[in-house]
Amino acid sequence: MACGLKKTGRGVALQWHVVKGEVWRKVTTWLGIPREMRTMHSSLKWIKKERQGSGIRAKAARIAFCFSIYWIWRTRNATCFDGLLPKEDDIFARIQYITYKILYSLYPYENVIL
């Protein structure tokens, strides 16, 4: 692998996949996605189909999806290049924080709770 997981051993690679899966499971539960999505592609199709429009929940799903991809890749790079393995709760909290921050900037007078 290009990121160095092969050099450090299989344990780090397995830990990374567990973290990624746990983060994605938490995000889909938080967004109310009713079934288990195993891939980002299937989740994107579901979000495009079920969370259409300009409502708060639709925007929240799209924002959270985008930042999930960003934070998962950022964590992957930190794991590969720096040898760090952040906790899945920290990654999930960052995704929630950024999603709510953007929603509150878009809807300053609304009670935004997902």
- Provide the 3-class DSSP secondary structure of residue 71: helix
- Residue-wise pLDDT for 55-97, tens only, equals 788 888 888 888 888 888 888 888 778 877 778 888 899 999 9
pTM value > 0.85: no
Integer angstrom CA distances of residue 39 from 22, 25, 109: 13, 11, 35
Q: What one-letter code names the amino acid at 114? A: L
Ordered alpha helix ranges (H), 1-114: 5-8, 10-31, 40-50, 56-77, 88-106
- Residue-wise pLDDT for 4-40, tens only, equals 444 444 555 556 566 677 888 888 888 887 777 667 7
Q: Enumerate the domain spans of the chain.
A: 8-106
